[in-house]
Structure 1
């Protein structure tokens, strides 16, 4: 068996001021379960590392890591702010619901929105196709994307009517 490292303890007698003794007791109580000797040994080891530069180097390494984390956090916050402002601009709606469209919407999607603004109770799919004078193959995908984006919602008992989501049709007709 290998010899285990067993430190040899030496009993010392020394004097310290009452205020330092109080600090020593408080530190021992807080960090070393009241063991004053262990607290004193740990303090000496820590101070030795500081004098030999090990503690300083470790502190500098931690400071650099912290600075890197702060830089990464700053970058993430800037990206979040950029994304948030982009989302707000692309989905900004005026109080009267006039500006519901965004650049990525197709012509059919814009026409559906404009038509639904003028209706009180929404329209059935067939009525949308008829009033827009477009084929079902053009209205269906555009309407589906508007529903997926939350701009248009299905209403009625059978869910066959479509209205603008989140807008009171009465408000749109009467104005503020």
Structure 2
């Protein structure tokens, strides 16, 4: 868009007071107080998004693929351990669990790190936002970590999650806890 060829049109529209305040703050912070310029730039940015600026989409897709690869690796370990257990009837379930705990779930480790880094217990939504994983994956992981006595859930509404135990740097504890029942 060439500024010399641009013809401006005056529009009348209505926005909430909250949005107006936010618009004025953004304009003051980034556009020397020029609200019109701020709106024009926001529209241009949104047009790029609508026209298929796929960088963000590709970044999210790439992250999801990596998470799925980690889940596949975890499932392969479980499958191998089960096959070993079935093949050796003298082998105990505890030894199968020990074999599974070698690497632990990357999703579980990531979730526990986020909770450990927080100063206070976190809501599921806070954890989802920080680990940037799909909500169903995070909720499933939280449930599994509670079952394994690695996390506790508060009775607050909404519930909050916190780490059980004091050794926050123990990768080994996280891995072992992934298969504790």
TM-score (norm: length of structure 2) = 0.35
**Higher relative contact order, chain-length normalized (CA < 8 Å, sep 6+):** 2
- Larger Rg, first or second structure (1 or 2): 1
